[in-house]
Structures are given as structure tokens and as C-alpha cells.
Structure 1
């Protein structure tokens, strides 16, 4: 319940922040020195292809935090509990996440933004389902390493995809994407909290996979409409 309340509060703050950027920021300062950023953000949010890519981030990160917010408890339900297992759990996840950020940039450069945008949520979806069925320590932590790698791959890929469209300045793209990510963080925390409250820990990967599937669908649609 606490996680759900915090998540809802974060969503509310995100909405307020977006409103401030779009409505208030353009009117700050004198008429001759008004910031153009509010109008640039508004143009960004109105662009269908750019917003579709941002939706990939929101859904992907929401799926990730549906499980990640409660990862310690989920791992414990699989039998991996105690300080030593927890330390190993986050060592594997942390190192995999760092690798994911690097590999995402390489994948986007070598394979192209369209393939990378679809591949990232697809890999994440598969590894989330593998975590659901993992029982042995080797299988679980192997799946966790790929899952962690995929989980941190989406931001550079989405930012690269939108930048290649050439419709918004880079600072607008990054700012909007950071906002999208944190909306996903809040939303995923709420979803995970509600799943635990209404069911149990075992359904967390299923909920995460559902959101990841929606992110994959959004990625495919984004690629198709950006041609």
C-alpha cells in the first residue's frame, strides 16, 4: 500500500512538472526574453512519432519497476534470501545494467535505431518470463543478468531514435525522456504494489511482462509509422 501511494504521488508530481513546463515556462521573464523551451516541449509532445517512442520508455520502465521495486522480496520467494544472496543479487543486476547501457548504444549504432527499438523490449519481455519460471540459482541469475542488461538499454535507444527523426533539439529529447522514464517508475511501482496487495509476489513478472509486451507493440508501431 505504501508503494502504491508513493507511486501515485510521483505520477501527480510528474503531471504538475509537465504542466509547469508547457504552460508556465513560456511566460517566464519579459516578452523579449521569454524562454522558447515551453513551446519546444509542446511541439515535441504533439508529434505523434516522437510521443510513440516516449511511450515505449514509459511502458518499458513501468514494466521494469513493476518487478524491480520488489526484487528483493521476489528473489526471497524464490529461495534467494539473506544478506549474501541480496548482495550477489544487486551486484549481478548492477553490473548487468551498466553493460546494458553500453551495449544499447552499440546496438543502436550498428543495427540501426529501428531494429534496436524493437529488439530491446523484445529481449526484456523474454527474460522477464524466464525469471518467472527460473528455479535453480544458475538459471535465475543468468536470466537476471540478461534482464538487468535489457532493463537499462531502453533510454539510449529511445533517445537515439527520436534524435534521428531530427524534429526536436537534443536537450528537449533528453528532458522529455527523463520525464517519461520517471512516469514509468511511478506507474510500475503502483502496478507492482497493487499486484502484491491483490495477489502475491509470484505474479509480478507476469505484470511486468504485460507492460513489456505493450512497450514492444508501441515500438513496432513507432517503427512502422516513422517510415
Structure 2
């Protein structure tokens, strides 16, 4: 694979760490800044909200800027946001810094996806995207334990100083190895707005959103699930998270390779359908810890396997507007994370059973499968217009 793709993937890991790395250290942050844990939790929710909105909006506003230059400028802003977090004396300043990092991270991740897709040949596109997805998934999944480890050793602020240093390294490598990236055709804003009405891609975005929602209904409450159903202590729970993280990172590569073998459309249906079955099976796998580990790792791999074929499918469906739709798909992912966590909390409140989140989560993924089938079964705009013209003739 092209060295430039690996550099972009490493940069994506650095950028992705910021989002959930605070999850495991919220009590420490709250205590240091003299706020409640609930208030500190807004550092995650506000980040996700800003991230979801900023990606497509900034991609549209910066369409005329050369991609490498834009990447470097945005990475510099990301660096500044993390330095601001390190020195912030109050919660308000930390929140402002989170908004800055969320805004810049949203643009950096979608730029990594779109640039990776452009600098390789079409047959290797899904695989290139899979490396970027591996970067995103590894940072989101491994960020929490990494944040806890660094905080215990050096304090919570050092987490953001470390990310700032890593961003400098990414800046240097991108500036050296990445050449100028030709800009895609720039559509007028009115045309970009019209592209958002493409029902075929809208249902693809919904498939992403509902799959991640079903996933996070379970993953957000994995610790109580393990405690309740397997009676695991913190040591073994940490082992489970570590194994899940390894599987999730590998899942990104699996999704890219699968798309190369059977095509993006079939891959999407295989991954979402299998994911639903695994979630339904999960509560019944706890009779044996080794068997549960196997099922859990399959779950972890499938959780991030969808992105490469989905991004490739979006590019194939609407090449002209693919950049904006790749960004929107990433936003759909963020909305799915927030939605799944919220629905999971409601399910727990009504059933008082953490096991039920897997069953309901599987049902939500079935909705994702239906959305994917609807999207794939729709004709593209060009094909539809051709058939209509033939019918008129």
C-alpha cells in the first residue's frame, strides 16, 4: 500500500484519540476543574455534536483550497486546541478547546478519507480507505484505556500534551511525503444542497447511523454486561476491552479486503446482516467464557468493518459529490454513537437488565440492514433518468 496512505492513517489515529480518551478519566477531570461528573461528561457530548456538524459544513466551505495546504493548516489548529486544553485553568476554557479540536478533527478525518481515496487506483480504493478506518477505530476503541494509563502516570493534562506532540509529528510527515492534491470539481452550494436529497445515499447514511447505534447500545454498557453476566473483575474486564480493540482495528482491514473480493454492495449486506446476528447471539454466549470471547471478538471486528465498503459505495454512487457525502457518513457515525448510548440508557431504565441492550441493539441493526437494502436496490440518478427517457421514447 502507498506510504502516503499509512501516513494519513497514523495522523487519523492521533486526531481520533481526542474524542473518547476523556471517557475513562472524567472523574479526575471533574475533580480538578471543580465540576460534577455529569458536567464533565458534556466534554464528550458537545464534542460529538460539533464533530457531526462541522465535517460536512467545513468541507463545503473549504472546497476551493488545495487539499495538502488545508490539511496542514487544520492540523495546526488541532495542535493549538490541544495545547489550550493542557493550559486551561477552568472548565469553560477546556470546553472551548474541545470545540476547537472537534471542529478541526472533523475536517482532518474526512480529508484523510477523501485524500486516501484519490491518491490510489480505483481497485485499491476500498483497501486504502480501510487503513484510515483502522486508524479511526483504533483511536476510538483504545483511547479510553490509553487515557487512564497516561493519567495515572503523569496526570490528565499530559494526555493532551502528548496528542499535541503527536500532531506535530503528523504535520511534519504530511508536509514531507504528501504532494499537492488536485481538488475535485467544485460544485455550487445550491448543487451541494441538492446532492443531500439523493435518497440512495441518504439510506446509506441511515444504515451507518443505525448500525453504530445498535453497536453502542451494547458497547457503551459493556462493563456492567461483563460484571452481570460473567462476574468478571476489573482485570478481566480490561483484558476484554483490549481484545475487543484488537478485533475492531482488524475489522477495518477485513472490511476493505472483503469489498475487494466480493464488491462493496455485497460486503455491506454481509457485514450488517452478520452484525445483527452476533448481537442477538451475544447474551446466549456467556455460558462459556472462551466461547464468549470468540463471539465478542467477531462483534468487535464487524463493528468497524462497514466503513471501507460503505465509503467506497458512496464514491461509486455519486463521484461528483463524494467528498461531502463521505463527510456526512462520518457525521452519521457520530450521531449513531450518541443515539445508541442514549437508547441504551432508556432500555436499561425500563428493563433494568443490561442483557436486553444486546437484543434491542440487534433489532436496531436490522433497521440498518433494511436501509442498506433500500439504498442498494435504488437505481442511480443517471440510470433512472436513462430508463425514464427510454420509457418516454
Structure 2 CA distance, aligned partners of 1:172 and 1:18? 8
1:169 deviates by 3.8
CA contact (8 A) 2:278 2:295 kept: yes
Q: Normalising by the residue count of structure 1, what TM-score does the alignment of the two structures yield?
A: 0.84
Change over 3 Å in CA distance of 1:40–1:147 after alignment to 2: farther
Q: Aligned pair 1:137/2:289, yes or no?
A: yes
Partner of 2:278: 127
Residue correspondence of structure 1 range 1-227 to structure 2 within 5 A = 38-39=189-190, 41-135=192-286, 136-199=288-351, 200-226=353-379
Distance 2:191 2:216 in 1: 29
Q: Is the 8 A contact 2:56 2:324 kept in 1?
A: no
5+ residue gaps, structure 1, are 27-34
- Following the alignment from structure 2 to structure 1, what is the Cα–Cα distance between the partners of residues 192 and 221? 33
Moved over 4 A (4+): 4-26, 35-41
Instruction: State the Cα RMSD in Å.
Output: 2.9
Q: For residues 73 and 195 of structure 1, do their structure 2 counterparts lie closer, same or farther at Cα, with a shift above 3 Å needed?
A: same
Asked if structure 1 preserves the Cα contact closer than 8 Å seen for 2:52 and 2:330, the reply is no
Alignment length (residue pairs): 218
- Uncovered stretches (5+) of structure 2, i.e. residues with no partner: 1-37, 64-185, 381-393
CA displacement 1:7-54 (0-9 Å, x = unmatched): 98678657865896799999xxxxxxxx95754652332101111111
Q: Please say if residues 80 and 86 of structure 1, whose CA atoms lie closer than 8 Å, have aligned partners that are also in contact.
A: no
SS at match of 2:232: coil
- Superposed CA offset, 1:120-176 (max 9, x none): 111101111121211210111110010000000111121111111134444313211
Q: State the alpha-carbon separation in 2 of the partners of residues 220 and 7 from structure 1.
A: 32
Bigger radius of gyration among the two: 2
Question: If the length of structure 2 is used for normalisation, what is the TM-score?
Answer: 0.50
Which stretch shifts more, 181-190 or 160-169? 160-169
In 2, Cα distance between equivalents of 1:126 and 1:144? 12
8 Å CA contact 1:14–1:183 kept in 2: the answer is no
Whole-angstrom CA distance in 1 between matches of 2:188 and 2:250: 33
SS at match of 1:102: helix
User: Whole-Å Cα distance in 2 between the matches of residues 24 and 162 of structure 1?
Assistant: 21
Query: How far apart, in 2, do the equivalents of 1:76 and 1:193 lie?
Result: 17
1:60-96 Cα distance to aligned partner (Å, 9 max, x none): 0000011111111111111242122112111111111
